Structure formats: structure tokens, C-alpha cells
A and B are shown apart, each in its own frame.
Chain A
């Protein structure tokens, strides 16, 4: 098992290097000369050249990448053109807000989806199952753009029970949290349901029933745990979608996280900041999946044999 974890770690490093190359190259695609953007409009050719040397733009691409990576590994993600602050600091300031939202959204969706999925899987073909599947299909078809606005329309504009904007207090978290977690809840409901159906058809479940063990115990002790295994992986993979979705959700609710920072950075054409955000979000996503895979080796005893 440790060999597997070690291999997985090495692989993670490889992927992160790959991602860093992509984010590095992204900035090279940007139209216009970054040196010119940093200088006043009437700058002379000599000044532009001098700026090129200062920024290291006169060096070959691989050398530029090398010094970029060197800085990144020392915690230097560059400086924001607009905020004139280190990118790392800006991201660190906004990071907790996004994480708070993302974790609450995951927690909320699991609290809803697991009981719903289990019930639907156990009572396949009943009204409860139909309701769960309808919820799953709606959830996956609901654009977070529309869901967020719809929630504001109902709960903030019509009923006036929840705030539409801001990040003060627990009430202001409810709507963004539902907006962000809704499609995940739908997906997990579906996964848990089909996991339960698969597991309940296994011979060992029939055998446990045959021994006279109560259905409740069969479902929760023997079936549920196995049905949950694929769900863990899916939740890990969906973290990426969730972090991407945070841009939309934070924009709708004015939530002061990484998503809002991204929108500001794009509005100000602050490409180095966009680049840093892309690198940070992707790295988090890769690390979350690494953690999920490691958890998996502990949860699934079959992995220990390999």
C-alpha cells in the first residue's frame, strides 16, 4: 500500500509540474507586450527594452519558466498589476471565504444526498425513488446562474427572509451554499442510489439476509459502506467543478472569495493574478484528489492487498 501511495505522490508532482507549464504558457498567449503595459504610454523603445531585461523577457522560454517556478516554489506568485500587492497575499486573503463556502456546500449536499440516495436505492421503483431521481435530474440540469438568481428572487425579494448579498452572518451563507451544492447533491444522490442497487444485488448480501440478519443491519452495515466507495472518488473529482462554480456563485452573491477576485482580475486585465489563481486552484484540486485516493486505500481493504 505504501508503494502505491508513494507512486501516487510522484504522479501528483508530475501533474502539478504539467499544470504549472500550462499556466506559465497561458500568460505568454496574452496579446500585447507586458513590458509596455507596465510603462507609461509615451515610453521610449529603450525604456521598453530595459523593462524586458528587468522582467527577464529577453531570456529563452525555458529559462523564464525556470525562474517562474523557482519563485513559485519560494512562495512568490508574482505581483498583481492592479492591486500592486503580492498575488500570494491577495489569494491567501480571499481563500478562507471560498473554502468556507465550498466545504459548507459539500457538507450540505452530502447531508441531503446520502439519505435520499440510500432510500431511493433500497426502495427502487417506489414513489420515493421516483422523487429522488427527479431531484437528481433537475439538479444536474439547473444552471447555478439561474438557481442563484431564482433563490434570491424567492427568499430575498419575495419572502424577505434571507439576504441577497454580502457575507455577514450565517444567514448570508445559506443561499450561496445551496446554489453551489445543488448539482453536487444531485450527482451524489444518483451515485449513491446506483451504488446501493449494485451492492444489494451481490451474493454476499443475499447470504447475509439468509442468515437472518435484520434488513436494517444489512443495509447500513454491509451494503451502505460498499456503496459509498465510488461516491468518495466522485466528490473528490467534483471539487474541481465546485471551485470553478465558485466564480459564478460568488459573482451572484457578492461573496468576497477567490471567485470574486478572479472577476476583478479579469476586469482589470490583471493577467499575472489570473495566472496565479489558476495555478493555486488547480493545485488544490490535484491535492484534494491525492488525499481522496489516499483515504480510499484506508477505506477499501481490497486496496491493502495490492
Chain B
């Protein structure tokens, strides 16, 4: 499939376009947010607590989406929290894909004992529900962004390994690989310069569909107080903080709730779109 064909399909896929617009918006906001915020995201001011949303009545310097129980500007915290969520999900997706792919390529290429050991570890890993494992590990190790990233990578690698492995197993016996071997290429060379590029499509599809899931788990963990440690804002912990003010100040939860939903929807649209574009056979 050449670049032109990919572009044509991108323009034709509504999912991809909708997802791409939302995700592009999120990325741009994450990049420029430190420059455009006018309030301190962690500056508590109890005289300004629970101010209702003013929208643009007082312009950008007012409390556009209101303030939370600590008097912090919600819009500012949404922007900074989104930056954090996005950074965590990018690191997690890249690290998981890296680890999962290496194990998958090695497993599929060598087969036999190596394959058995890696796949059995993956099986055991997948028998522990990811959220429960993440909660237990963070509970023991303590909350920090690094621990959160580590635990999300640990729970995520087996799905990459499985997909990459099955692709590699098919590739292993393809003629050009055998030819390359006959010419004396080393295993490492065959694995990473010849097989890997051919499993890239499957890998990209998997990665694009993973972002939404990571953001959801991160939000759940932060909601439970096991994700991004306070006072750093995150959408999950913002929802948790607003829980007690549902009757008096619903805007405290509505803003992060809707943002979270929209962001995940955007990434999921994009993921589905990428799949439709790269693997039209699976399209329904």
C-alpha cells in the first residue's frame, strides 16, 4: 500500500477524521497549555471556592469553568491534567509496544523453549485482571507517576507479544527470509531489519487502539487515589474530589467527566480509523 492510497483512505474514513481532529486538538492543547493558563493549577484560594462557571463573562481571566472545593480554577487543572494523561499514555504505549514487540519477535522467531517460556509468562500475566494487578502493585509500591507507568507497561505487554509473535511465525518461513538466511544474515539482522518492518502494520493498529484504554485505566487509578499523586491535577482525581459536591456544585465533576469521555472517544475513533485504513479486510 503506497502513501497516496493511505491518504485517500484517510480522507474517506469518517472515524479517522473525527478521531484525528479531536486527538490533534488534545495534543495542541497539551503543548500550549503552560503558555495560555492564567491561574495556578495548584494554587488553593479558599475565598474563591466553588465559584460557578462564568464561561467567558469575565473573559479568559475569569473562572471559565468555575472553581473546585479548594478554589482552584477547573479549566486550568483540566488543561494541566490532560497534559499529564497524554504524557503518561504516550510513554506507556511506546514502552509497552517496545517490550511486547521484542519479546514477540524473539518468541516467534526462535520458537521451541524460548517461545514456550515467554508465552507461558504471558498467559500467567493475562490471568491476573489488569486493573486488580495495577491496584495491588501500586498499593504495595506506593503512588508515583513512575510506578504507575511501570505497572501499566507490565499489565499491557502480553497483548503486543501475542500479536507480534503470530505475525512473526508466519513471516519466519517466507522465501525472502530463507534467502536472507542462505546469504548468511545473522538472526538479529533478520529479526529486526527484515521481519519487524513487516509486522509494523499490526503493531501500529494495536498501538493506536491502546491509547484510549490507557487513559481510562489511568483515570480509574487516579480516581482511587492510586494514580497521579496529588496535588498534581488529573481528570480521575478531579472527578473524585468533586464527588461530595454533586448536589451543590456539579460543575466540579462535569468538566473533567466530559473531557475524559471526549478524549477517550477521540482516541478510540482514531484507533478504529487507523485499523480501517491499514487493514480494510477487518472492516465491518
Interface residues of A (CB under 8 A from B): 14-16, 18-19, 22-23, 26-27, 29-31, 124, 137-138, 140-146, 149-150, 152-153, 157, 164, 193-194, 197, 240-241, 243-245, 247-248, 251-252, 262-263, 265-266, 269, 271, 274-275, 277-278, 281-282, 285-286, 289
Contact = CB atoms under 8 A, between A and B. Distances in A.
Contacts of A269: 139
Given A22-B128, A281-B129, A143 B247 contact: no
Contact of A143 (B142, B220, B226, B246): B220
Given A141-B212, A271-B140, A245 B250 contact: no
B114 to A, nearest CB: 17
Given A146-B261, A157-B247, A244-B129, 15 more contacts: A26-B137, A30-B141, A138-B265, A141-B265, A143-B236, A144-B220, A146-B257, A146-B260, A149-B243, A241-B131, A245-B220, A248-B131, A251-B224, A252-B243, A266-B226
A278 B246 contact: no
Contacts of B219: 143, 145-146
Contacts of A289: 127
Interface string B118-141: 001101100111111101110111
A285 B223 contact: no
Contacts of B240: 145
8 contacts: A15-B123, A29-B141, A137-B269, A141-B268, A143-B261, A157-B250, A247-B135, A266-B226
A285 B128 contact: yes
A142 B213 CA distance: 10
A278 B132 contact: yes
Interface string B189-233: 000000000000000000000001000100110011010000000
Nearest to A14: B120
B239 A149 contact: yes
B274 interface: no
Nearest to B140: A30
A247 B227 CA distance: 14
B162 to A, nearest CB: 13
A197 B137 contact: no
B141 A278 contact: no
A145 B129 CA distance: 18
Across chains A and B, which 10 residue pairs bring their CB atoms closest together, nearest first?
A244-B131, A18-B124, A240-B129, A146-B257, A141-B265, A244-B129, A266-B139, A141-B264, A145-B223, A282-B128
Interface in B245-264: 246-247, 250, 253-254, 256-258, 260-261, 264
Interface string B177-191: 000000000000000
Contacts of B247: 157
Interface residues of B, number: 46
Contacts of B220: 143-145, 245, 248
B58 interface: no
Given A149-B253, A194-B284, A15 B265 contact: no
Contact of B135 (A146, A164, A266, A282): A266
A197 B124 CA distance: 33
Contacts of B226: 266
Contacts of B272: 137
Contact of B129 (A153, A263, A274, A285): A285
A145 B256 CA distance: 11
A230 to B, nearest CB: 13
A152 B139 CA distance: 28
Contacts of B284: 124, 193-194, 197
Given A157-B246, A251-B224, A140 B268 contact: yes
A153 B250 contact: yes
B238 to A, nearest CB: 10
Contacts of B257: 143, 145-146, 149-150
